[in-house]
Amino acid sequence: MKRIKAHGQSARERGKSVGHGVSSLTLFRASLYVRHLADLEAEGRETISSRELAGKFSISAALVRKDLGLFGAFGKAGVGYYVKGLREALLQKLGLKRTWNVAIVGAGRLGIALSRHKGLAESAFRVAAIVDKYPEATAAKRDSGLEVFHVDDLPRLVNERCIELGIIAVPASSAQDAADTIAQAGIKAILNFAPTHIDVPQGIFVHNVDFTIYLENLAYYANQAYYRDGHPCDLGDKDWLGHQE
């Protein structure tokens, strides 16, 4: 089965240019390249070809070369790409050679889980503040070790802690209010986990996270595999719980 070429963007964001001729899809693939290059560097690999890199993600070598060409002149004829040099260059171009301070709006289960995410601690992103409409009613301080501030404190926290990215981790019904608060605080980039559309002023970028997109990609490839190889179980007239209809 081929690897999934998935993304976590809304239809509004797909292929959207985010400046300097680089689309959001290209940026997504660039992040994947960085992760794979880090693994290769850890293994001691010194070079990799565009064909090898493309095979990892089931895309064409031409697309890999086009993606990388948007960030600069990389690669050497007969050699390919130097793993360490390419990774460092991409990190620089993606703005990941520095630390980004993040504010999470919503101190419920999702907000707590995000604040404790191991990947954040090992990345260029640091949770600098968690805010909630009802901070006294949350368990975030006990569970995450972070103090939970009132959402009205966000503008002050943005200035004091140099917060540049915001994460919405509230129910859909509260998402627009959270987006308004983040925008008014001066944050220009929002990661939205709420399953709803939000409106923001021009100049603010929103990335919507919808895990069902990944499941839809999985369903497509799984459908192909099961059609070719046969389904591992015969459901017959039973529903998904195994009960008779």
Task: Say yes or no: 52 and 140 in one domain.
Answer: no
Average model confidence (pLDDT) across the chain: 84
Q: What is the mean pLDDT of residues 103-123?
A: 88
**In this structure, is residue 1 part of a structural domain?**
no
Is residue 12 in some structural domain?
no
**Are 82 and 130 found together in one domain?**
no
146 occurs within a structural domain: yes
Element (H, E) at 208: strand 205-208
Residues 64 and 121 in one domain: no
| pLDDT band, very low/low/confident/very high, at 17 (cuts 50, 70, 90) | very low
86 and 106 co-located in one domain: no
- pLDDT tens column, 180-234: 999 999 999 999 999 999 999 999 999 999 888 888 888 888 888 877 666 666 5
| Residue 82 confidence (pLDDT) | 94
> The domain that contains 80 carries what CATH number?
1.10.10.10
Q: Which pLDDT value is given to residue 66? A: 93
Q: Is the pLDDT of residue 130 over 80?
A: yes
* 27 vs 22 pLDDT, higher one: 27
pLDDT at 16: 40
C-alpha 29/C-alpha 98 separation (Å) is 20
Kind and range of the H or E element at 27?
Answer: helix 24-43
Q: Are 194 and 168 in contact (CB under 8 A)?
A: yes
Residues 44 and 119 in one domain: no
26-43 pLDDT, tens digit each: 999 999 999 999 999 999
**Quick one: 85 and 171 in the same domain?**
no
Q: Specify the pTM.
A: 0.78
Query: Residues 127, 150: one domain?
Result: yes
Same domain, 77 and 106: no
Does the residue 7 lie in any domain? no
Mark whether 133 and 178 lie in a shared domain. yes
- How far is 93 from 90, CA to CA, in rounded Å? 5
Give me the number of domains the chain comprises. Answer: 2
Q: Give residue 119's pLDDT.
A: 81
Among the candidates 41, 61, 93, a domain finishes at: 93
More confident residue, 116 or 41: 41
Answer positive or negative: Cα dihedral of 129, 135, 141, 147.
positive
126 and 172 inside one domain: yes
Does any domain span residue 238? no
For residue 108, the Cα-to-chain-centroid distance in whole angstroms is 20
Bridge pairing between strands 81-82 and 47-48:
antiparallel
Stronger pLDDT, 174 or 146, i.e. the higher one = 174
234 domain residue, yes or no: no
Per-residue CA distances from 54 to 50, 60, 165 (Å): 6, 5, 31
Q: Which two tokens stand for residue 39?
A: 């693994």
Is residue 13 a part of any domain in this protein?
no
CA distances from 21 to 69, 70, 91, 194 (A): 11, 8, 18, 29
Query: Which residues are CB-contacts of 27 (< 8 A; sequence separation ≥ 6)?
Result: 18, 94
- Both 134 and 48 in one domain: the answer is no
Question: What would the two tokens of residue 23 be?
Answer: 């689309």
* Alpha-carbon distances, residue 181 vs 99, 154, 161, 200 (angstroms): 23, 8, 17, 10
Distances (CA, A) of 211 to 156, 159, 195, 214, 217: 32, 32, 10, 5, 10
- Examine the pLDDT at 23 and tell me if it is beyond 60: yes
Percentage with pLDDT > 90 across the chain = 58
At 197, which CATH number? 3.40.50.720
The verdict on 147 and 172 lying in the same domain is yes
Q: Is residue 244 part of a domain?
A: no
Structure tokens at 208: 């919507």
Using the 3D structure, point to which of 45, 67, 93 is the last residue of a domain. Answer: 93
Give the domain extent around 125: 100-211
Beta bridge partners of 76: 80
